[in-house]
């Protein structure tokens, strides 16, 4: 886990170059990552996601793939958004620009993601059973359906972000 500011402020997760994935805790054992005897591993399937977000079946649930860019990613629960740091001078700059970025975001199409509860964000190459051995971030989400959408934003001349918003849907 990468920390750029004071411990406990914001935790950033990075990948080895491929997509990050948010897998519901209840189905973590079913995510094989780059392992497996199949023609296409789970990691291969995640790499095939075209765009900033996509869903893949995992067990009796679905995982959210954060594709497009292997950027350092944090979850800001107060905003209900994953922030993907593509370019910025500092973490302070990224975090200070999030409110303006959210206000000016031109969001892409929404996907509907149903989760049974907390999810774990990690490098899609890792098997779900081994997330404790690698960088990962537990994201506490209430069980239910969420509208997920992404936006590429440039809230400052040297600041580029991808925002992935999660909006709870009514039951």
Q: What is the pLDDT of residues 87-129, one digit of tens each?
A: 999 999 999 999 999 999 999 999 999 999 999 999 999 999 9
pLDDT band at 37 (very low <50, low <70, confident <90, very high): low
Q: Is residue 3 a part of any domain in this protein?
A: no
Q: Domain containing 34: what range?
A: 20-168
DSSP 170: P
User: Is 91 a domain residue?
Assistant: yes
Using pLDDT thresholds of 50, 70 and 90, give the confidence band for residue 36: low
Question: Is 8 inside any structural domain?
Answer: no
pLDDT at residue 3 in the model: 44
**Beta-sheet strand order (sheet of 53-58):** 53-58, 61-66, 20-24, 119-123, 136-139
9 within some domain: no
Whether 163 maps to a domain, the answer reads yes
Q: What angle do CA 117, 59, 70 make, to 5 degrees?
A: 75
How many alpha carbons fall within 13 Å on the CB side of residue 113?
A: 32
Q: What is the pLDDT of residues 116-166, one digit of tens each?
A: 999 999 999 999 999 888 899 999 999 999 999 999 999 989 999 999 999
Can you count the helices (H) and strands (E) in the chain?
2, 10
Q: Is 50 within a domain?
A: yes
Considering the domain boundaries, does residue 47 fall inside one? yes
Domains: count for the chain: 1
What is the distance between the alpha carbons of residues 106 and 124, in angstroms, rounded to a whole number?
27
CB atoms within 10 A of CB 130: 14
Residue 73: name the closest of 2, 149, 154, 14 by CA.
14
Query: What is residue 131's predicted lDDT score, i.e. its pLDDT?
Result: 87
Mean pLDDT of the chain: 91
Q: What whole-number distance in Å separates Cα of residue 162 and Cα of residue 171? A: 28
Do 138 and 53 form a contact (C-beta atoms < 8 A)? Answer: no
Chain centroid, CA 107 distance in Å = 16
- Whole-prediction pTM: 0.91
Residue 35: which pLDDT band, with cuts at 50, 70 and 90?
confident
Q: Is residue 53 situated within a structural domain?
A: yes
């Amino acid at each position: 886990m990468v920390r750029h500011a004071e411990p406990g402020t914001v935790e950033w997760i990075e990948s080895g170059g491929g997509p990050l994935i948010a897998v519901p805790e209840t189905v973590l054992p079913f995510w094989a990552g780059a392992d497996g005897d199949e023609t296409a591993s789970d990691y291969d399937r995640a790499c095939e996601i075209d765009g900033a977000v996509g869903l893949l079946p995992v067990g009796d649930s679905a995982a959210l793939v954060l594709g497009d860019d292997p950027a350092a990613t944090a979850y800001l629960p107060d905003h209900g958004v994953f922030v993907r740091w593509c370019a910025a001078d500092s973490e302070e700059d990224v975090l200070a620009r999030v409110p303006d970025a959210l206000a000016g975001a031109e969001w892409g199409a929404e996907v509907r993601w149903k989760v049974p509860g907390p999810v774990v964000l990690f490098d899609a190459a890792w098997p779900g059973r081994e997330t404790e051995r690698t960088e990962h971030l537990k994201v506490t989400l209430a069980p239910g359906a969420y509208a997920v959408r992404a936006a590429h934003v440039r809230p400052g001349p040297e600041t580029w972000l991808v925002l992935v918003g999660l909006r709870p849907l009514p039951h």
